[in-house]
Chains A and B, each alone.
Chain A
Amino acid sequence: MSSIGVVTPQTLHFTEPLRLSSGAELRDYTLVYETYGQLNADRSNAVLVCHALNASHHVAGLHADAQGQPLPKSAGWWDNMIGPGKPLDTNQFFVICVNNPGSCFGSTGPMHTNPATGRIYGADFPVVTVEDWVNAQARVLDRLGIQQLAAVLGGSLGGMQALSWTLQHPDRVKHCVAVATAPKLSAQNIAFNEVARQAIITDPDFHGGHFYAHGVVPRRGLRVARMIGHITYLSDDVMEQKFGRELVGRGVLDAPRYSTQDLEFQVESYLRHQGDKFSDYFDANTYLLITRALDYFDPARLHGGDLAAALAKAVSKFLVISFTTDWRFSPARSREIVKALVDHRHDVSYAEIDAPHGHDAFLLDDARYHDVVRAYFGRIAQGLQADRLATRAAADVNFAT
């Protein structure tokens, strides 16, 4: 399927401080974002896509080199979902994705200079929450002159931001599509995050988060963090199918090496490869910040733990999607969201996709999943069309009288 082609990230600088949930402030900050498609005349067709843990503002299309030639393997992380003729069709919608503050893909983050001290933030970068990110994204929309979103869409941690949008800025969101997400992390989810954080923090190259000054990267910690994360993204079945007990450079029935430290099983090779790749581009402090944002997300907390009460103030319509083999954010977690919405008579549809791929399924091609998203956005597009005709008819009536 055709891609949107070469896209170029854009940058906005903000000097009005961003007040954070913790009480701290981001005094001066830059946000990087990408947009696809055209904003229509009444600015009603904007869709905000929220990114997950290790993703960026580069959702769809390709990046180019200095000569304008598309770079190999530069497709956005949700290129199969967003583009011309795709489930979220950029021929109909104006799509925006903002790199969240604290990230390591261009927006202000721990690797940048703290304007208060003139030194690199490192571990001093303030804790940011899902709510803080939503407020930062709202400022980008303000600058772009978008008052109301046709929809906000996100998967996993991105789904949490999408949910949060409907609570923090209810009047600015008409539809919320929350995929493979949860209303808060379970103890097990937090436990996995903690193992990842400990791997990073205890790496001797971490230097309490100020490793930039030492010219090193806590690569070993990042590798282990990514390995742990990766295990939770895949289902048991998919891992078994992909690797089974296959050995590296030997047949399954061959004698093993009888070594405790050499690479033995294919699954080890795969995890090490993923870890290596990740430690090349991801920032250790960002990993700590983002996993903490996940841990802290709990919109029901301010309502005595009552999620339905928390979601009562939302006015948007919802589409919730989960995947049967996702054990990181299982269908039961999505059903909690659906139940809370149903309790307050919100418009909600829920699709539980029988996919084998675990949590990763939300990024993969699956006709049933993509069909439902396509149908939902198709209805939104029809609604926009109807609104436009009604506005035009009302204008004609005014003209006639």
Chain B
Amino acid sequence: MSERTLHEVFAELVPPGSRVLDLGCGDGAFLAYLRDARGCTGYGIELDDAKVHACTQRGVNVIQLNLEEGLSLFEDNSFDIVLQLDTLQHLRNTEAMLRETARVGRQGVVSFPNFAHWPHRVSVLRGRMPVSRTLPYQWYDTPNIRVATFADFEVLAHRNGLRVLSSFGLNTEGRGSEVVHRWPNLLAATAVFKFERG
């Protein structure tokens, strides 16, 4: 498996020319990549002032909103694809947000740190919460208020009537990312799901 950048891996999940909503879009780098490399349009949602500023500098459409308040700004099916990359674990209303994602987008992509990655399992077996590159925080200062496994998300998706179109794990080393199809719940640090309403 050849290594690709994270942007390349995720961009392959987004058909060219898609109308995209990126929840928790950060500095807008990925939206800018989708715009420049794949001719996509749309908006990013971000709460942090500095990141909203960074998006504006990049010329990416950004809307400053708290995702905990939902997506009432957007009508049903108004996007080809809604991205929730590395965002889900910071949300209190994870399940409601997943439903909102599926409501406003025809398809959704979610990525989050996989708590069941084997080094984490080893750490817990040793009696300590894991601290790793994907979960770099101590238990008492982590912004990740939801910790889930690859397998857990499959259950949540099913529970909400979502059909998983593709799923895989990701391991990132430096600038490269390796896609993990074999035993991702054990072997991948990051879980990735693409889904639509069932």
A204 vs B73: C-alpha distance when bound (angstroms): 49
A343 vs B74: C-alpha distance when bound (angstroms): 7
**Are A378 and B55 within 8 A (Cβ)?**
no
**Are B73 and A335 within 8 A (Cβ)?**
yes
**Are B19 and A350 within 8 A (Cβ)?**
no
A31 vs B65: C-alpha distance when bound (angstroms): 41
The yes or no answer to A372 lying at the interface (CB within 8 A) is: yes
A345 vs B80: C-alpha distance when bound (angstroms): 13
Give the interface segment out of B56-64, B115-123, B142-150.
B56-64
**Are B57 and A375 within 8 A (Cβ)?**
yes
How many chain B residues touch the partner (CB < 8 A)? 20
**Are A352 and B57 within 8 A (Cβ)?**
no
**Residue of A at shortest CB range from B53?**
A371
The yes or no answer to A13 lying at the interface (CB within 8 A) is: no
**Residue of B at shortest CB range from A350?**
B63
**Are B49 and A368 within 8 A (Cβ)?**
yes
The yes or no answer to A71 lying at the interface (CB within 8 A) is: no
The yes or no answer to B43 lying at the interface (CB within 8 A) is: yes
The yes or no answer to B173 lying at the interface (CB within 8 A) is: no
| Interface residues of chain A: helix, strand, loop or mixed (majority) | helix
From 363 to 399 in chain A, residues with beta carbon under 8 angstroms from any chain B beta carbon are 368, 371-372, 375-376, 378-379, 382
How many chain A residues touch the partner (CB < 8 A)? 23
The yes or no answer to A53 lying at the interface (CB within 8 A) is: no
A343 vs B55: C-alpha distance when bound (angstroms): 21
- Find chain B residues with CB under 8 A from A342 CB: 43, 63, 73-74, 78
Min CB distance B171 to A, Å, is 34
**Are A347 and B53 within 8 A (Cβ)?**
no
Min CB distance B12 to A, Å, is 24
The yes or no answer to B75 lying at the interface (CB within 8 A) is: yes
Min CB distance A361 to B, Å, is 14
* B57, B62, B63, B73: most-surrounded residue (chain A CB, <10 A): B63
A368 vs B55: C-alpha distance when bound (angstroms): 13
- Find chain A residues with CB under 8 A from B64 CB: 350-352
Which residue from A345, A348, A372, A375 sits with its C-beta under 8 Å from B19?
A345
A348 vs B59: C-alpha distance when bound (angstroms): 10
* With A350-B62, A350-B64, A352-B64: A379-B57 Cβ-Cβ less than 8 Å: yes
**Are A368 and B61 within 8 A (Cβ)?**
no
- Find chain A residues with CB under 8 A from B57 CB: 375, 378-379
The yes or no answer to A266 lying at the interface (CB within 8 A) is: no
A342 vs B78: C-alpha distance when bound (angstroms): 9
- Would you mind naming 7 contact pairs between A and B with Cβ atoms under 8 Å apart? A342-B73, A348-B43, A349-B60, A351-B52, A372-B53, A375-B53, A379-B56
Task: Using A371-B53, A375-B53, A379-B57 as known contacts, list a sample of 18 further A-B pairs with CB atoms less than 8 Å apart, ordered by residue number in A.
Answer: A319-B56, A338-B73, A339-B73, A342-B73, A343-B78, A345-B19, A349-B55, A349-B60, A350-B64, A350-B65, A351-B49, A352-B65, A353-B49, A368-B49, A372-B56, A375-B56, A379-B59, A382-B59
Show the binding face of A for B, using Cβ within 8 Å. Answer: 319, 335, 338-339, 342-343, 345, 347-354, 368, 371-372, 375-376, 378-379, 382
